[in-house]
Structure 1
Amino acid sequence: MAVLVLVVLVSLVFDYTNGFHDAANAIATSISTRALTPRVALLLAAVMNMVGALLGVQVAKTISEVITPPTGLHGLTVVAAGVIGAISWNLITWYFGLPSSSSHALIGGVVGAGLASASTVSWDKVVDKVAVPMVVSPVIGFFAAYAVMLAILWIFRRANPSRVSRRFRIAQSLSAASLALGHGLQDAQKTMGIIVLALVTTGHSDGESVPTWVIISCAGALSLGTYAGGWRIMRTLGRKVIELDPPKGFAAEATASVILYLAAYIWHAPISTTHTMTASIMGVGATKRLSAVRWGVAGNIVVAWVLTMPAAALVAAVVYYLVHLFGA
């Protein structure tokens, strides 16, 4: 029981790092366009993360079915190693200010620990629910945001620019709240899935439902992490990729939030808030001109995306071998 409690606590630590790592996704654009002050934006994101985390468990069930670890203490070791691998990658990318995906770090960590322990990995789910959405969601985000921004430019082509900017600052409060809700809906559920996986390995759950205490704990940890803020990554998303104004910020946030909702409720896929939002920002920037997007910074972000799953998997495998060797 003590080891199970430890694994749950480590999972909640991951959830907390997920919050401050991904806080930038929901609010960087609103802060950079001065639609919201930093503290107000963080508080809004934290509250909406909490609400979003309470609105569904479909993604959690998908995560809990990615691997089938051994039962008992050995299974808990596998789960713990996967979460530690994800935490390590989160901290590395946070330190360098790179908006990588906490979601794919977690999945990569779990798969890496699963492979190291010879656990059964559900490759169909990894491909259909993780790998394909990982590629498709940013592509959709880029082109959908591009289209939304073109529509905004056409609709308001004869309007006074300063008046349009003021109105979209107000609209950004709503789009930032919507995105934070989607972030809570997606990301808190991923940690719920890991805790359910730990409960299944010890016989405390059949995996068919998510206990209420798990939902509330994950929602709270994510919200606290979000309120702590992720200023390094916020600077990258808010200022270094493109120069944002309120209409562009609104278009990116609205587009990304819709994609998050569709992924959670229709596909039950754990897509990356980071990937989707960053691609949406690039899409709105490209409406001005392709050179408006700082592709060097964007390239560094893409490299972090590609490395996330294998890097987290490698760290998780090393952690598993060390713990297993030490335990033996």
Structure 2
Amino acid sequence: MFGLSFLFPIGLLVLAALLVNGWTDAPNAIATAVATHALSFPQAALLAAVCNLAGVLWAATSHSAVTDTIYSIFHFGGSSAQARSALCAALCAIVLWAVLAWRFGVPTSESHALVAGLTGAALALPGGLSNLSPDAWMKVLLGLVFSLGLGIPAGRTVLCLLSHLSLSEQLCRRGLTVGAALNAFLHGAQDGQKFLGMLLLCAFWEFGGPPPDTRPVPLVPVVLCGIVMALGTALGGRRIIDTIGQDMVHLTAKAGLAADLGCGACLLLCTLAGLPVSTTHVKTAAILGAGQSASGTANLTVVRRIFLTWVFTFPGCGLLGFFLTHVFLLSL
């Protein structure tokens, strides 16, 4: 079933969005290790690719709560053809938004772009607001709050704890390698599940509608998600690393380690709780919190640019998904 569904363009669009996710989101996981020269960029990108793959496999086979949440947020009203058009429109919106943000070196959240694009597409179909699930949407909103609310204090708190330990520069750099691996693993666990949910929708729609239950998650789409995300990660995203790891704040090895550990704790907590949080938001906020505490300064111009991109992600991708859905429906 799942092998056949990937022959359709909609399945390829899901994989394209997942590739872009690995390309633009994964650099956040390794930003601290590269910015502090604990790892070279090629080494860090390869490490992140391997850990992304491992994270997707772990989450999908052992803890798929985020997949279940994403899977249940939307109900695309209308015919099956209209639902496919809406999903294609939403995925196109995600890819366009992510590439535009990468072009300017701004870390954007494909997680929230995914939710926004799908929301706009769902609203454009017959049924409107009734196509959205309030309970699942509440989890998305909670994830957004935790993404922004936990990252900065987590980075600062862990830095404060590390400051009481006699850690050498060399030991901190070794810790950054472990931190990069942990963050990349949890990025795969979070974001891989979200796009896996889209692959499940694609596959089941090809055969007459969604099933009553997503368990057990088939192995083929899980592995495919992991491989495509890992490939996107291996392509890198040096512009984004430079923005958050160098331009936004000056990172010491200890501050970078604090950001990695603080971000990892937040991502693990939200993944286990089934909250679809943004790895970009959590990691960038943790870097800002730890870096500013360590150096006492932050580039407010860069911070403002990143924040405005985050603010406009929901309305921007939502409107793109809404209007592209109408365009695609004209071809039916």
Report the Cα distance in structure 2 between the residues aligned to 1:295 and 1:2, rounded to whole angstroms: 46
**Aligned match of 1:92:** 100
CA distance in 2, matches of 1:167, 1:318: 52
Q: Matched residues in 1 for 2:76 and 2:259: separation? A: 39
Query: Which residue is equivalent to 1:28?
Result: 31
Q: Mean Cα displacement is larger for which, 116-125 or 233-242?
A: 116-125
Structure 1 contact 138–280 (Cα < 8 Å) conserved: no
- Residue pairs, 1:250-289, within 5 angstroms: 250-265=257-272, 267-288=273-294
* Residue 194 in structure 1 maps to residue 198 in structure 2: yes
Separation in structure 2 between the aligned mates of residue 257 and residue 58 of structure 1, nearest angstrom: 18
Instruction: Tell me how far apart the structure 2 counterparts of residues 287 and 20 of structure 1 sit (CA, whole Å).
Output: 29
Which deviates more, 115-124 or 50-59? 115-124
In the alignment, which of 67, 76, 86 is matched to residue 74 of structure 2? 67
Tell me if structure 1 keeps the 8 A contact 2:249–2:292. no
Helix, strand or coil at the partner of 1:270: coil
The structural deviation recorded for 1:176 is: 0.6
**Secondary structure in structure 2 of the residue aligned to 1:117:** coil
Structure 1 residue 289 displacement after superposition: 5.4
- Stretches of structure 1 that go unaligned for 5 or more consecutive residues are none
**Within 2, Cα distance between the matches of 1:52 and 1:136?**
21
1:1-328 aligned at under 5 Å gives the runs 5-56=8-59, 57-70=64-77, 71-119=79-127, 120-126=131-137, 128-156=138-166, 164-202=168-206, 203=208, 205-206=210-211, 207-209=213-215, 210-265=217-272, 267-288=273-294, 290=296, 292-327=297-332
Deviation at 1:4? 6.9
The superposition leaves residues 69-124 of structure 1 with CA deviations (integer Å, 9 ceiling, x where unpaired) of 14522211111111111111111111111101010001100010000113511133
Q: Is the 8 A contact 2:252 2:291 kept in 1?
A: no
Moved more, 229-238 or 40-49: 229-238
Amino acid in the other structure paired with 1:18 = N
Measure, in 2, the Cα distance between the counterparts of 1:225 and 1:305.
Answer: 22
Residues 147-184 of structure 1 deviation map (CA, whole Å, 9 limit, x = unaligned) = 1101111223xx7xxxx111100111111100000000
RMSD (Å), alpha carbons = 1.7
1:288 is displaced (CA, Å) by 3.1
Instruction: Give 3-state SS (helix, strand or coil) of 1:242's partner.
Output: coil
Please tell me the residue identity of whatever aligns with 1:138: L
Q: SS state of the match for residue 259, structure 1?
A: helix
Supply the AA of the counterpart residue of 1:238. Answer: G
Specify the code of the residue in structure 2 equivalent to 1:49: N
Amino acid at match of 1:298: V
TM-score (norm 2): 0.91
**1:154 partner amino acid:** H
Q: Which moved more, 1:42-51 or 1:233-242?
A: 233-242
Q: CA deviation at 1:307?
A: 0.8
Q: In structure 2, how many angstroms separate the alpha carbons of the residues matched to 1:152 and 1:30?
A: 17
- Asked if 2 retains the 8 angstrom alpha-carbon contact of 1:82 and 1:112, the reply is yes
Q: Distance in 1 between matches of 2:26 and 2:187?
A: 9
Question: Equivalent residue of 1:269, what SS?
Answer: coil
TM-score by length of 1: 0.93
Amino acid at match of 1:133: G
Q: Deviations over 1:25-59 (max 9, x none)?
A: 11111011110111110100000000000112221
Structure 1's consecutive aligned runs of 4 or more residues displaced over 6 angstroms after TM superposition are 1-4
The structural deviation recorded for 1:3 is 9.0
> In structure 2, the residue corresponding to 1:155 is in which secondary structure?
coil
Mark the runs of 5 or more structure 2 residues left unpaired by the alignment.
none
Contact map agreement 1:27 1:41 (CA 8 A) in 2: yes
Measured against aligned partners, the alpha-carbon deviations of 1:2-37 in whole angstroms (never above 9, x if no partner) come to 797211110000000000101211111101111011
Aligned pair in 2 of structure 1 residues 201, 69: CA closer, same or farther (>3 Å)? farther
The Cα offsets for residues 234-288 of structure 1, whole Å up to 9 and x where unpaired, read as: 11011011111111111101111121111111x2011000000010011112323
Instruction: Give the distance between the partners of 1:67 and 1:4, measured in 2 at CA.
Output: 24
Letter in 1 for 2:275: A
